[in-house]
Amino acid sequence: MVDRGARRIASFYEVIEQRIGESEYLGSDRFTLADITALRAVDFATIVKHGVPNGNENTERWYAVCSSRPSAKA
């Protein structure tokens, strides 16, 4: 189960990295529910020691922008 979960998290980050390379946000060029959902997923993954992989520059940029929003701090 742990190995399968780690593979799925890696796949999740690959998809996000690719998508964020094409658009500022996940769903479009504006912040949407998709970003909120993914932001919480990344937060949880970080807690369980599976944060954004090194070298995922698009994802790191997206995460910094999204997590700095006032609503993300609420």
Determine the average pLDDT of the residues in 25-34.
94
pLDDT in tens, 36-65: 999 999 999 999 899 999 999 999 999 999
Q: Report pTM.
A: 0.89
The neighbour count for residue 49, using CB atoms within 10 Å, is 6
Q: Which residue has tokens 């993300």?
A: 72
What percentage of the chain has pLDDT greater than the value 70? 100
Write down the mean pLDDT value for the chain: 93
Nearest to 30 by CA among 74, 69, 73: 69
